[in-house]
Structure 1
Amino acid sequence: MARELRQTDPKVSEAIDHERERQESALGMIASENHVSEAVLEAQGSVLTNKYAEGYPGARYYGGCQHVDEVENLAIERAEELWGAEHVNVQPHSGTQANMGVYFSVLEPGDKILSLSLSHGGHLSHGHAVNFSGQLYDVEQYEVDPETGYVDYDELARHAHEFDPDLVVSGSSAYPREFDFERFESIADEVDAYHLSDIAHITGLVAAGVHANPVPHADFVTGSTHKTIRAGRGGIIMCTEEHADDVDSAVFPGSQGGPLMHNVAGKAVGFGEALEPEFEEYARQVVDNAKTLASVLQDHGLSLVSGGTDKHLLLVDLRESHPELTGKEAEAALDDVGLVINKNTVPGETRSPMVTSGIRIGTPAVTTRGFGEEEMEAVGEVVANVLDDPTDDEVKREASWRVERLCDEFPVYE
């Protein structure tokens, strides 16, 4: 297959080769990224990309769907087992489209959503003004406590009673602590609102049982399928049987056409891998690695939002330790030495989202490479040293050498 691509389109082939080299020669520590297995790659690059399958298994609008029906049913059955959901839709093309499917299933334009502020760790699809969710719905957002970095549930309850939302969202893209899903359920019930839990980042941690599961406490659970769960790229919706028909109709034909069956196959394969005992070990190591990294960075004087992490990511607030250093500059300096993270807003942010005062660092991808606590200590030293002297060539040379050694010792694909 690769030989055919090189002959047919050498420019695209070369770009793919370079990207594979980049992934092998750099440490991917963007919290929303991971490395899937060769098996998932094969499924995603299969002939299933040729097949239209509008509708659902057993009820398609096209013929010839008997085999893709089998694949989609496998993905659904494995997801139900992983997360304990009554109903699963594996067709959303992304986590954002999964959220869209939920909104379209139970909300009307102008209905009210209460969700976490983007600068406090939320996500665009939870109601930001530049996103469809903020354009179609009346959105107010709660924040973390400025002193602790944690969600203040008493304040959240007060806000909910004052705003009277139709839907309350628990979920984030840069909140390093676990949510109290049971408390969210209680608050949503008090104001007669639906509870949507977006677990895009923590799907794998929840599936492995190393993070609380919102499925028993939420009307809807959405997520991405390519982050900590390491499956085919896309989204997923889980809900109670009560909402199953409305959710399915909101996805197709409400917001999507034909599902991407090669992606659904990648989801099925990844979910199957997550059902193996080794996956729980992986998920536990992801969290242990994040805690180790947090400890090293704090020992070097770096300030972490909420003082640490419960999961796979940590959020560094640079304003106290490096007030003149922006998140954008920190990202570029670390990228120069082969350590790929992303700039990120922090609570109380005063800089623009394209500049920021913080950085977000995640451990899923390096844990997939085989990193343990010893390697995370080395990574922490690299991060701290580079941030202390981001323009010092000698510091960068030393950091690059250490990153290169780690990459050589722990290849992504053998």
Structure 2
Amino acid sequence: MYAPPNGFFHDGLDGDPELASAIRGEWARQRDGVELIASENLVSRLVLEAQGSVLTNKTVEGAAYARYYGGAEFADRIEALAVERAKRLFGCGFANVQPHSGSNANAGVFLGLLALGDVILAMDTAAGGHISHGHPATLTGRDYRIVRYGVSRETETIDRDEVRDLAHAHRPKMIVAGGSAYPRAIDFSAFRAIADEVGAWLLVDMAHVAGLAATGHYPDPLPHADVVTTTTYKSLRGARGGLVLWNDEALSSRIDAGIFPGVQGSVMLHAVAGKAACLGEALKPEFADYNAAVLANARALGETLQKEGLRLVSGGTDCGLMLVDLSGTTTGDVAAKALEAAGLAVNKNLIPFDPRPPEAPSGLRLSSNAGTARGFGEVEFRTIGGLIATVVRAPSDQRALAAARDAVSDLCARFPIYPRP
């Protein structure tokens, strides 16, 4: 008869020293560094515990209360709770909380509403769009015919006339609004009007602004879009995963089937529990305060960078993220490496009409989300802006990097995060 090894149900990380060392190293990196990557945030201890719970052991397929597996009583309760909270937070009629990621959410909607080969009009990744909206290297780019719109050279914002002209020229079945590196507010009503002119679905991907939209700090796409997708981390400050939101009941079976069995199988219940936890947090008044601070802190950071002589794409930001143009200073890859050495985690990024390749672009993408979650205010973000400017002006100056690293350590020590795992 098999007997589990000693400690199987009781030993924690210390049972695997090699793995423990790596996880604790990541904890120390987060503790001692400033996170400025727009695709990341810091979750609550509640979210960590929900996502690291015994739900890891449970497999289910299908919708809540209509599973293909038994033993789903509590799984159903948890998923139903996440769905109900998503609908309350965003004021919509229907929600699917199963997508493993924002990319899966988008792919599932495409599969549910479109036929292979249909035309999709979406923002070019070079202008700030997301790869899941039809980049040639992805399945969506292979399976659908993608037409791309960009931004104006003069304003570096979406050119609605270009979007309308492309829509009329190509007659897409779906128009996608929203992106991965677009810092300005989007006029969703204008996209709705264009979609109606050509008989297209309108999908809004609000992954980077969902928390702001939910709390009234960014335009709400739900009154205008046929379908809205988002991630649950980034500005929602929660578990890694995706959501699909909509109001027309006639779309429900198609969207749900696009997710399961269309693009994924079993539900990751531990992630759904983490989503339920963060959505519950987002329904509390504190979350609106958090998002107001995200905006104030982003503007403080952006203003500081501009005073230090760095240019912001489009001249500023209407959300928690911004693009910094390093042209004439250094390149994004060099700057990101130097900033990481100084304890400032950022990501290199293309800027609109970038003459440089994605591997060594002209820009950086920054966000105030994680720092705000940690408790940083405008004073701290102005300090961070000064440190960034110092480093990017002299990325090979080891003394400057060491001084910046000391300043980052001092700052982070004043705003502690979780205890050691």
Same fold (TM over 0.5): yes
SS in 2 for 1:141: strand
- Residues of 2 paired with 1:33 and 1:318: CA distance? 22
- Residues of 2 paired with 1:108 and 1:36: CA distance? 38
2:320 corresponds to 1:315: no
2:176 equivalent among 169, 174, 181: 169
SS in 1 for 2:69: coil
Once the two structures are superposed, the pairs formed by residues 150-229 of structure 1 within 5 Å of their partners are 150-229=157-236
Tell me the equivalent position of 1:37: 44
Structure 1: tracts of 5 or more residues without a match: none
TM-score normalised by structure 1 residue count? 0.97
Once the two structures are superposed, the pairs formed by residues 237-256 of structure 1 within 5 Å of their partners are 237-240=244-247, 241-256=249-264
Structure 2: tracts of 5 or more residues without a match: 1-7
- Residues of 2 paired with 1:2 and 1:219: CA distance? 47
Tell me the equivalent position of 1:411: 416
2:283 equivalent among 255, 258, 275: 275
- Residues of 1 paired with 2:11 and 2:170: CA distance? 58
- Residues of 2 paired with 1:343 and 1:75: CA distance? 34
Tell me the equivalent position of 1:64: 71
Tell me the equivalent position of 1:127: 134
Tell me the equivalent position of 2:112: 105
**Structure 2 counterpart of 1:298, which letter?**
Q
Deviation track 1:328-387 (CA, whole Å, cap 9, x = no partner) reads: 001011111000000001111122211111000111000001011100110010011111
2:240 equivalent among 195, 210, 233: 233
- Residues of 2 paired with 1:206 and 1:259: CA distance? 27
Question: 1:2: how far off?
Answer: 11
Deviation track 1:166-223 (CA, whole Å, cap 9, x = no partner) reads: 1000010000001101111111110100000001111111112211110110001001
Deviation track 1:236-284 (CA, whole Å, cap 9, x = no partner) reads: 0011212111111111111111100000000000000011111100011
Tell me the equivalent position of 2:295: 287
TM-score normalised by structure 2 residue count? 0.96
1:259 equivalent among 254, 267, 276: 267
Question: 1:3: how far off?
Answer: 7.5
- Residues of 2 paired with 1:67 and 1:123: CA distance? 35
**Structure 1 counterpart of 2:12, which letter?**
L
Mean CA deviation greater in 345-354 or 302-311: 345-354
Percent identical pairs in the alignment equals: 47
Deviation track 1:56-109 (CA, whole Å, cap 9, x = no partner) reads: 111001111010111001100100011111110000000000001100111111
- Residues of 2 paired with 1:264 and 1:337: CA distance? 35
Tell me the equivalent position of 2:3: none
Tell me the equivalent position of 1:395: 400
Question: 1:158: how far off?
Answer: 1.2
- Consecutive aligned runs of 4 or more in structure 1 exceeding 4 Å deviation: none
- Residues of 2 paired with 1:14 and 1:34: CA distance? 22
Once the two structures are superposed, the pairs formed by residues 329-348 of structure 1 within 5 Å of their partners are 329-348=334-353
SS in 1 for 2:263: coil
Deviation track 1:303-328 (CA, whole Å, cap 9, x = no partner) reads: 11100000001101111x41xx1100
- Residues of 2 paired with 1:284 and 1:109: CA distance? 41
